[in-house]
Structure 1
Amino acid sequence: MFGLPLGLFVESAVAILLALTIGYCVVLNERLKRLHADKDMMRQMVADLVGATNLANQAIKELKQTAIEADLSLNSRLEEAERFGIELANHVTAGTAVMERIAKITSVARNSQTMAQPVEETTKVQSALQQLSERVRTRGAAA
């Protein structure tokens, strides 16, 4: 008698353990499904991240190229501005020299005008004296 209930007890314990094992396998199966779903999502995220990284690298290359072009353009404009600055300074220097020459010419012209007036007055005085002496001679000859 003891054999039967004991055998039944052992078989029931095995059945319960088997049912628990099956339940645990079902839970593990669900977890594995979620893990595989997460794995696919992670693959997609990694692929998206790689794509974004490639786009960022391309953008960085383009920015570097743009910066190089801007630097070259800026350098050429700065060199051109320096040339224009030097040329402008030369023109200012030449203009100053011309202004100084004009000032000297004007000064000489003014001085010659002031000197010309006494000379003209002197010639006028001499002319008047000559005319007076000629009258005196013509009167003396007439008398």
Structure 2
Amino acid sequence: MDLGVDVILDGLLAVLLAATVIYCFVLNRRLSRLRNAQGEMAELVRSFHQATENARASVGELKVAANAVGADLQKRIDAGRSMLDELEVVVHSGGKVAERIEQGVDRSKAAAPAETQRQERSPAEHDLLQALRKVR
């Protein structure tokens, strides 16, 4: 009986040893694939690093371009504001001139004889007076 137990234990040991050898073979193949993939992964990391550096350089160039465009835009805004200020002064002065003209017309009407007042204004005078009133 001892011999039977020894044979069973030897058989069990042989089966476990065979399973270990098969597992080692499979593990060796997986490790080989992992080593091959490691080279591919290193290449991928290098490629990613290069793309990151290119993106970083592009962002720097975009910042420089944006600053240049911003400065140009600010100059144009400042010029536009200056022109707006000048136009406001011109419009204000034009309004004062229009008021003086209208006062002069009213005074000349009052001083003119009744016959002259009855005459209608010419279309040009009428248009001028309307334009002057709109400006105020």
TM-score (norm 2): 0.61
Alignment of 1:119-130 (within 5 A): 119-121=111-113
Cα deviation, 1:33-71, whole Å, max 9, x if unaligned, reads 445433321211110110110111011111112211222
Look up the match of 1:85.
77
Match among 42, 47, 51 for residue 50 of structure 1: 42
**What's the RMSD between the two structures over aligned residues?**
3.1
* Residue 31 (structure 2) pairs with residue 39 (structure 1): yes
Which amino acid is the alignment partner of residue 90 of structure 1? Answer: S
Which amino acid is the alignment partner of residue 48 of structure 1? Answer: E
Distance 1:37 1:117, change over 3 A: same
Which amino acid is the alignment partner of residue 110 of structure 2? Answer: P
- Cα distance in 2 for partners of 1:78, 1:60 equals 26
Higher RCO (CA-CA < 8 Å; seq separation 6+): 2
- Cα distance in 2 for partners of 1:24, 1:114 equals 124
Look up the match of 1:71.
63
Identity %: 8
- Cα distance in 2 for partners of 1:99, 1:66 equals 48
Look up the match of 1:115.
107
Uncovered stretches (5+) of structure 1, i.e. residues with no partner: 1-21, 125-143
Uncovered stretches (5+) of structure 2, i.e. residues with no partner: 1-13, 117-136
Distance 1:118 1:28, change over 3 A: closer
Bigger CA radius of gyration: 1
